[in-house]
Chains A and B, each alone.
Chain A
Amino acid sequence: MVAGFESRPLKAAIWLMTAIGLAIIYLPPLYLVAVSFNPALQPALPPLSDISLTWYFALAKERTLISALQESLLVATITALVATGLALLSALAYMDLGKWRSRWFMFVLLPMFVPGIIQGLSLSVIFGRIGLKPFWGTVAASHLLWALPFAFTVILTSMAAVRRSYLLAASDLGASWWRQLVDVTLPLIKPGLVAAFIFSFLLSLNEFGRAFYLVGRQNTLPLAMFGKMNSGASPTIYALSGSIFLASILAVSFVLLAAQAKDRKLHR
Chain B
Amino acid sequence: MKSPGLLLALPTALIVLLLGFVPLIVILVWSFWTWDPATYWIRPEFSLAGYEAILEAGRWSVIVGSLGKAFLTAAICVVIGYPAAMAVHFLASRRTALLLMALFTIPFFTSYMIRAFSWRLVLGRNGLINGWLMDLGIVDQPLDWLLFSNFAVNVGLVASYLPFVIFPLILSMQRVEPSLLAASQDLGAGFWRTFRSVLLPLTQAGIFAGFLFVFVMAAGSATEVQMLGGAAASMISVMINDVMRVVNFPLAFAISTLVLIILFGLIFIGNRLFKLTSLFEGFTW
Report the bound CA distance from A249 to B23 in whole Å.
34
Residue of B nearest to A111 (CB): B20
Q: Are B256 and A122 in contact (CB under 8 A)?
A: yes
8 more A-B residue pairs beyond the given contacts A28-B115, A87-B12, with a C-beta to C-beta distance below 8 A: A21-B80, A35-B121, A89-B9, A96-B6, A111-B16, A208-B223, A241-B111, A249-B110
Residues of chain A contacted by B39 (CB below 8 angstroms): none
Q: Are B128 and A31 in contact (CB under 8 A)?
A: yes
Does A48 sit at the interface, judged by CB under 8 A?
Answer: no
Q: Are A252 and B91 in contact (CB under 8 A)?
A: no
Does B184 sit at the interface, judged by CB under 8 A?
Answer: yes
Q: Are A177 and B1 in contact (CB under 8 A)?
A: yes
Q: Are B118 and A31 in contact (CB under 8 A)?
A: yes
Which of B12, B26, B260 meets A93, CB within 8 Å?
B12
Q: Closest Cβ of chain B: how far from A106's Cβ, in Å? A: 6
Scan residues 200-245 of chain B and give those whose CB is less than 8 A from a CB of chain A.
Answer: 213, 216-217, 219-223, 226-227, 236-237, 240-241, 244
Report the bound CA distance from A225 to B285 in whole Å.
44
Residues in B lying within 8 Å of A, measured CB to CB: 1-6, 8-9, 11-13, 15-16, 19-24, 26-27, 30, 79-81, 83-84, 86-88, 90-91, 98, 100, 102-115, 117-119, 121-122, 124, 126, 128, 131, 155, 158-159, 162-163, 166, 178, 181-182, 184-186, 190-191, 194-195, 213, 216-217, 219-223, 226-227, 236-237, 240-241, 244, 249, 252, 256, 259-260, 263-264, 267, 271, 277-278, 280-281, 283-285
Which of B20, B109, B244, B264 meets A121, CB within 8 Å?
B244
Which of B8, B22, B115, B277 meets A105, CB within 8 Å?
B277
Report the bound CA distance from A253 to B33 in whole Å.
49
Residues of chain B contacted by A113 (CB below 8 angstroms): 213, 216-217, 220, 263-264, 267
- Interface residues on chain A, size class: 35 or more
Q: Are A95 and B122 in contact (CB under 8 A)?
A: no
Q: Are A21 and B84 in contact (CB under 8 A)?
A: yes
Does A159 sit at the interface, judged by CB under 8 A?
Answer: yes
Q: Are B159 and A18 in contact (CB under 8 A)?
A: no
Q: Are B115 and A150 in contact (CB under 8 A)?
A: no
Q: Are B12 and A17 in contact (CB under 8 A)?
A: no
Q: Mark A203-223, 1 if CB is under 8 A from B, else 0.
A: 101101100110000000010
Q: Are B8 and A122 in contact (CB under 8 A)?
A: no
Scoring B91, B163, B213 by chain A CB atoms within 10 A of each residue's CB, the highest score goes to B91
Residues of chain B contacted by A115 (CB below 8 angstroms): 219-222, 236-237, 259-260, 263
Which of A28, A97, A121, A125 meets B9, CB within 8 Å?
A97
Report the bound CA distance from A230 to B227 in whole Å.
8
A to B CB contacts below 8 Å, 22 in the list? A3-B181, A4-B184, A4-B191, A14-B86, A17-B83, A32-B117, A93-B9, A101-B281, A113-B264, A113-B267, A115-B263, A117-B241, A119-B23, A126-B23, A142-B19, A148-B15, A148-B16, A156-B284, A203-B109, A206-B114, A244-B111, A249-B106
Residues of chain B contacted by A65 (CB below 8 angstroms): none
Scan residues 1-54 of chain A and give those whose CB is less than 8 A from a CB of chain B.
Answer: 1-5, 7, 10-11, 13-15, 17-18, 20-22, 24-29, 31-32, 35, 42-44
Q: Mark A76-110, 1 if CB is under 8 A from B, else 0.
A: 00000000001101101111110001101111101
Q: Are A212 and B241 in contact (CB under 8 A)?
A: yes
Residues of chain A contacted by B277 (CB below 8 angstroms): 102, 105-106
Report the bound CA distance from A131 to B55 in whole Å.
33
Residues of chain A contacted by B162 (CB below 8 angstroms): 21, 24-25
Q: Closest Cβ of chain B: how far from A65's Cβ, in Å? A: 13
Residues of chain B contacted by A67 (CB below 8 angstroms): none
Report the bound CA distance from A94 to B20 in whole Å.
20
Does A173 sit at the interface, judged by CB under 8 A?
Answer: no
Q: Closest Cβ of chain B: how far from A53's Cβ, in Å? A: 19
Report the bound CA distance from A25 to B82 in whole Å.
16
Q: Are A122 and B219 in contact (CB under 8 A)?
A: no
Report the bound CA distance from A69 to B71 in whole Å.
35
Residues of chain B contacted by A141 (CB below 8 angstroms): 19
Report the bound CA distance from A15 to B90 in whole Å.
11
Q: Are A229 and B220 in contact (CB under 8 A)?
A: no
Which of A7, A116, A156, A157 meets B222, CB within 8 Å?
A116
Residues of chain A contacted by B19 (CB below 8 angstroms): 123, 141-142, 144-145
Q: Are A10 and B191 in contact (CB under 8 A)?
A: yes
Residues of chain A contacted by B21 (CB below 8 angstroms): 111
Residues of chain B contacted by A10 (CB below 8 angstroms): 191
Residues of chain A contacted by B195 (CB below 8 angstroms): 4
Q: Are A245 and B110 in contact (CB under 8 A)?
A: yes
Residue of B nearest to A159 (CB): B284
Knowing A115-B237, A208-B111, A241-B117 are in contact, say whether A95-B284 is a contact too (CB < 8 A): yes
Report the bound CA distance from A42 to B267 in whole Å.
45
Q: Are B182 and A226 in contact (CB under 8 A)?
A: no
Q: Mark A114-136, 1 if CB is under 8 A from B, else 0.
A: 11111101110110000000000
Q: Are B102 and A253 in contact (CB under 8 A)?
A: yes
